[in-house]
């Protein structure tokens, strides 16, 4: 894959419009998990942690087969069943602090606004949550290190849409609402998110502040990944990239949706005052994982190849500066070689040859990004298990 695919760039307009016409009448049948969903990409390639709603991640060895993650290996994170609707009747509503509110269909959206393209990594705030639970059990899907993927996203830039609706001066936030229907107790709600307006408008150095993605890796956005349109926010946790996007509201404040006000924050007690005072999670922190050998592997003494991924902090000026591996509990470190493109908002792949002995009980990885920020040895516990980015340690046996 050429590095240039990372940069945001215009997409062939005629091809894009032809795609729009071909998919305008697509009917999305009800989907109830992997086994019952023949359209699901990677149904035989993901580890299913929950059937309904579908939550699944790839095996780590598969995850590093390609710097651009094939759709079949891209994790699936859902809070409700994939919504069923006729895409030809789809309408995106844009309202709030704007002079020109808009309701627009998917065909008009891609015809009116020139598409851009960018390769960007998406990761769940709960990535590696199962490791967090080793300290004390936390709620939520017990993810390993596979809720991360790097895709080529394309679609209109959110900034172009916002310019068209003429955002008012007092606006500060852009709120998103999906079409999925989530059952919470006796209530049915939609998944929502919001981002600062400044982020939405921050197109720079060829990277859109936010994409209204309609394609993924050159294919029509799959149903489980948000067809017909989703937001993709570079550098932000996946929860801010709303699938099945139905509404955009321009506001002077963040959304009061449950998944902004009462989730995706770092809290330790969970009382109302703590939730209200806690900061909203936006940009992801540096992280890394060993993908090969797998946890629990039996290795021969001597030099062994170790491979994995590393992710810089989610800022436009940050890349991976260094990845280190230890086979003796963190006393001595071997620097790994970066073997993939190393770009802002994207993961990098690394590999190293590390000497192991019968005394070796584990392998440890840590990464440092170009701002000098290194993964911490330990992280503070929180009740949702978000942002687990401590040094990753996997057990191995040498003999």
What digits encode the pLDDT tens for the residues 177-199? 999 999 988 899 999 999 999 99
Q: How many CB atoms lie within 10 A of CB 320?
A: 25
Q: Is the pLDDT of residue 2 over 50?
A: no
Among candidate residues 130, 382, 392, the one with its CA nearest the CA of residue 264: 382
| pLDDT cut 70: percent of the chain above it | 89
pLDDT digits (tens, 9 = 90+) for 288-332: 999 999 999 999 999 999 999 999 999 999 999 999 999 999 999
pLDDT at 10: 53
pLDDT digits (tens, 9 = 90+) for 10-20: 555 554 455 44
* Beta bridge partners of residue 245, listed in sequence order: 178
User: All domains of the chain, ordered by start, with CATH?
Assistant: 3-277 (3.90.420.10), 287-398 (2.60.40.650)
pLDDT at 398: 98
Under 8 Å CB-to-CB from 355, ≥6 apart: which residues? 302, 303, 304, 327, 334
Question: What is the mean predicted confidence (pLDDT) over 321-345?
Answer: 98
Q: Is the pLDDT of residue 38 over 60?
A: no
Q: What's the rounded Cα separation, in Å, for the pair 192 and 189?
A: 9
Straight-line distance from the first to the last Cα atom of the chain, in angstroms, rounded to the nearest whole number: 38
SS (H, E, C) 173-204: EEEEEECCCEEECCEEECCEEEEEHHHHCCCE
Question: What is the mean predicted confidence (pLDDT) over 112-129?
Answer: 98
pLDDT at 19: 45
Q: Quickly state the pLDDT bin for 208 (edges 50, 70, 90).
A: very high
Q: Is the pLDDT of residue 31 over 90?
A: no
Q: What's the rounded Cα separation, in Å, for the pair 9 and 325?
A: 36
Among candidate residues 201, 195, 203, the one with its CA nearest the CA of residue 8: 203
pLDDT at 84: 81
Question: What is the mean predicted confidence (pLDDT) over 268-278?
Answer: 95
pLDDT at 279: 98
SS (H, E, C) the chain: CCHHHHCCEECCHHHHHHHHHHHCCCECCCCCCCCCCCCCCCCCCEEEEECCCCEEEECHHHHCCCCCCCHHHCCEECCCCCCCCEHHHCEEEEEECECCCEEEEHHHHHHHCCEEEEEEEEECCCCCHHHHCCCCCCCCCCCCCCCEEEEEEEEEEHHHHHHHHCECCCCCEEEEEECCCEEECCEEECCEEEEEHHHHCCCECCECCCEEECEECCEECCHHHCCCCEEECCCECHHHCCCCEEEEEEECCCCCCHHHHCCCCCCCCCCHHHHHHCCCCCECCCEEEEEECCCCCEECCEEEEEEEEEECCCCCCCCEEEEEEECCCCCCCEECEECCCCCCCCCEEEEEEEEECCCCCEEEEEEEECCCCECCCCCCCCCCCCCCCCCEEEECEEC
Q: Which two tokens stand for residue 292?
A: 């090969």
């Amino acid at each position: 894959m050429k590095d240039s695919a990372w940069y945001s760039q215009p997409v062939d307009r005629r091809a894009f419009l032809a795609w729009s016409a071909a998919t305008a009448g697509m009917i999305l049948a009800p989907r109830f998990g992997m086994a019952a969903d023949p359209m699901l990409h990677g149904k035989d390639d993901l580890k299913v942690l929950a059937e309904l709603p579908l939550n699944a991640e790839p095996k780590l060895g598969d995850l590093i087969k390609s710097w651009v993650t094939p759709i079949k290996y891209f994790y699936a994170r859902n809070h409700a069943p994939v919504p069923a609707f006729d895409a030809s009747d789809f309408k995106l509503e844009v309202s709030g602090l704007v002079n020109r509110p808009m309701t627009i269909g998917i065909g008009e959206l891609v015809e009116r606004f020139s598409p851009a393209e960018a390769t960007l990594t998406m990761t769940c705030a709960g990535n590696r949550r199962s490791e967090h639970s080793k300290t004390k059990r936390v709620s939520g899907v017990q993810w390993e290190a596979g809720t991360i993927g790097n895709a080529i996203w394309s679609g209109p830039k959110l900034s172009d849409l916002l310019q068209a609706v003429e955002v008012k001066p007092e606006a500060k936030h852009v709120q998103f609402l999906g079409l999925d229907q989530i059952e919470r107790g006796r209530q049915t709600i939609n998944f929502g998110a919001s981002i600062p307006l400044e982020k939405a408008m921050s197109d720079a150095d060829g990277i859109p502040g936010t994409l209204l993605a309609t394609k993924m890796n050159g294919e029509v956005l799959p149903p489980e990944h948000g067809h017909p349109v989703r937001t993709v926010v570079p550098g932000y946790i996946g929860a801010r990239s709303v699938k099945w996007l139905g509404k955009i509201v321009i506001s002077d404040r963040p959304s009061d949706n449950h998944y902004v006000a009462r989730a995706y924050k770092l809290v330790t007690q969970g009382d109302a005052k703590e939730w209200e005072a806690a900061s909203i999670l936006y940009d992801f922190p540096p992280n890394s994982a060993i993908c090969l050998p797998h946890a629990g592997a039996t290795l021969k003494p001597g030099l062994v190849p170790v491979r994995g991924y590393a992710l810089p902090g989610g800022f436009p000026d940050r890349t991976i500066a260094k990845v280190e591996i230890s086979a003796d509990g963190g006393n001595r470190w071997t620097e790994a070689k970066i073997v993939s493109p190393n770009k802002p908002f994207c993961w990098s792949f690394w590999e190293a040859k590390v000497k192991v002995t019968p005394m070796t009980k584990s392998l440890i990885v840590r990464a440092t990004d170009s701002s000098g920020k290194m993964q911490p040895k330990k992280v503070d516990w929180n009740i949702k298990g978000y942002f687990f980015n401590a040094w990753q340690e996997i057990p191995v046996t040498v003999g």
